A and B are shown apart, each in its own frame.
Chain A
Amino acid sequence: MSASQWRRAMNSAAAAAAPTLAAQPARVPRPAAAAAGDALDAPPWLDRLGARIRLRHAVVLAAVVLYPLVASPFFTYQIGAQSLALGLIALSLTFLGGYGGMVSLAQMTVAGLAGYLVAIFGTSSMASISLGWPWWLAVPFALLGATVFAAAVGWLSVRTEGIYTIMITLAIGVAFFYLAQQNYTVFNGFQGLSKIAAPELGGVDFKEPVAFYFVALGCALAGYFLVKHLVRAPFGVALQGIRDNPRRMASLGYHVTAHRVAAYAVAGLLAAVGGVLMVWYNGRISPGTVNLAQMISILIIAVLGGMKHPIGAFVGAIVYVLLQNFAIDLFVRERFNLVIGGVFLAVVLFSPDGLLGLWAKLRSSLVRTQISHQKRRRP
């Protein structure tokens, strides 16, 4: 058996193993009668899909779709859309860190580069810099450029392992910030580029809060399901194997470096989509968008929510954006960084799995007390 055949065999074995792995965490068994009734007429893929969907998924989906109808434009745009865009960037870090074991601080840099590229390829206030392409041409090229950049960052940082990754990506990100600040020919220096608006399409102006919210929601859902799908696909399973034991995976015939660089590219694409949303949301981009504080805020969001599950990125983003908007009312106006830094420290020190970890802990202790109650009642 050649190496490539062996790898293919391993891949399919891994893919076969994936659903069973994924099925394990499901705690609530499906009612047997419903399963038997469905199985007769529903096609198997719909049945599989139905097995994964629970009440809470439907509730969350309904809530995010109906949200702009009940919320004020401020809550739709400033809270809702911003959380979704930030969450998407944080999701890229969750994918990379949680499933690939590579904590990159350069995700905001990738997002910022995508934003800059949209401004440079498309239209902005600086006619001498912007090329003036239509948005449907500028956006794909911005995404492509940012993804290639992310892959290059990945190629550089996977040459070393573990904690070096965080240092190298941090250095790359800060270097990019200083470059954007110093350079006037491409990045327009300290001022950056402004008047970058979301496009109009078919009579719908995507600058409007509700329309923009749905664009952001669509992108966020697509990103979320992409990650959910990838982590169960052979590529994602191999990536998790590499996270846990790169040496063993290498000896099984997997190309460790290629998987890691590919993970960076995928995460780069997610971050780039988030970056385009962010630049449309703000209408402008400047070095302040990619400075150290912003780079770290993405890490804070991902860690705050919990890196073990893709939804953590969005939970963290909502908490972060709410804190950002309302901590001002609760505490001294300028001390937002102190609050967010303190919250982050508390999470890292006391609940390393973030808010989701806290929730899981709470639920398991609730279940435990219920069980002990039942035990007590039984005799």
Chain B
Amino acid sequence: MTDGRKIALWLLFAGPIAVFSVWAIVDNPPLYFKTLLNGLTLASLYFLVASGFTLVFGLMRNVNLAHGSLYLLGAYVGWIVGENTGSWLLAVAAGFLSSAALGLLMQVFIFRFMEGQDLRQTLVTIGLSIVFADLMLWAFGGEIYTFDPPAWIYGSTMLPVVEKFPTYRIAVLLAAIVIGFGLWTFLAKTRVGMMIRAGVDDRGMLAASGVNVQLVFAVTFAIGAGLAGLAGVVGGTALSISPGEDTRYLLASLVVVIVGGMGSVVGASIGALLIGLAEQFGLAYAPTYSVVFTFVIMVVALAFRPRGIMGRAG
């Protein structure tokens, strides 16, 4: 792409957004900035869910459509632990561990035996998601569950323009940044992280250089699933937990990784930002069509970069 076309493209997409922003800020600054902050909070949730999804796909070419179920399972288990111990932090840990354990089991007992059969793996994850969803509906019913966040992140904080904003949402935003940074450090600096990145680039070569690929796969699946479970508790606290949330977060992860690019954690963060902001601004300014914005972003991304913004050919 030439520089001129690049600039034209940027103008095409950034221009309307800038015009809209100026209009919205002049029109009603608190609404605009509140929506912006809400969008960032939602984006951080989406990032937590989608980063695990994208890692698993990038390494194992496994489109884990049971990812939403892992989110919901983590949320429910976290809720039980939180109710019984009264500790929210323990609930977060339980959400992570339970989903990680289930992910590990899935990888070790099922997906290990169907390596290279993309479609069959995906079909199995669909079957699993149906079974899990129904089992959880059986166990927990259709009620809506809510968490009580600890006192130190409860209530609201005064911010310059927005005035009152829930402290918990700010905490989610900060937590996502910390986790995102931690994930990046893990992938970029540690030995296992290097193996995972090498596996994303070339599985065969990684196996040939003497690494126990199955172990790397299992670790990655556990981390990816665990992140979904953790997001379940964090997201369940910000909003609520009910059956059907699995679909919502599955869609979010799908769109985020389609837009951001498969197998890229940076791509997942960019995708999550775009989708989270689009959804919240859509809800605030055009309520009945907010899904259309998400969809338009996906279509535009696919039209110009079929493999996502950070995706690579191959």
Contacts and interface: CB of A to CB of B under 8 A. Distances in A.
A174 B298 CA distance: 13
Interface SS of chain A? helix
B289 A348 contact: no
Interface string B277-302: 00000000001111110110011001
Interface-central residue, A103, A175, A342, by most chain B CB under 10 Å: A175
Nearest to A293: B130
B166 interface: no
Interface SS of chain B? helix
Interface string A184-204: 110000000000000000000
B127 A344 contact: yes
B294 A174 contact: no
A338 interface: yes
Interface residues of A, number: 39
A111 interface: no
Interface-central residue, B123, B137, B294, B299, by most chain A CB under 10 Å: B123
A345 B131 contact: yes
Contact of B302 (A160, A179, A345): A160
B302 A338 contact: no
Contacts of A303: 123
A352 B120 contact: yes
A168 B302 contact: yes
A337 B302 CA distance: 33
Contacts of B138: 334-335, 338
Nearest to A337: B134
A338 B131 contact: yes
B292 A163 contact: no
B310 to A, nearest CB: 15
Contacts of A163: 61, 63, 118-119, 122
B126 A185 contact: no
B146 interface: no
Contacts, number: 108
Given A159-B303, A166-B63, A175 B295 contact: yes
B289 A183 contact: yes
B295 A348 contact: no
Interface in A293-351: 293, 296, 299, 303, 334-335, 337-338, 340-342, 344-345, 348-349
Interface string A29-51: 00000000000000000000000
A338 B135 contact: yes
Given A166-B63, A182-B290, A299-B126, A160 B307 contact: yes
B245 to A, nearest CB: 12
Contacts of A170: 65, 251, 254
B102 to A, nearest CB: 15
B181 to A, nearest CB: 27
Contact of B255 (A171, A291, A296): A171
A182 B290 CA distance: 8
Contacts of A174: 247, 250-251, 254
A159 B302 CA distance: 7
A109 to B, nearest CB: 12
B255 to A, nearest CB: 5
Interface of A: 103, 156, 159-160, 162-164, 166-168, 170-172, 174-175, 178-179, 182-185, 291-293, 296, 299, 303, 334-335, 337-338, 340-342, 344-345, 348-349, 352
Given A159-B303, A164-B258, A175-B251, 8 more contacts: A160-B302, A160-B306, A167-B254, A170-B65, A175-B255, A341-B127, A341-B128, A341-B130
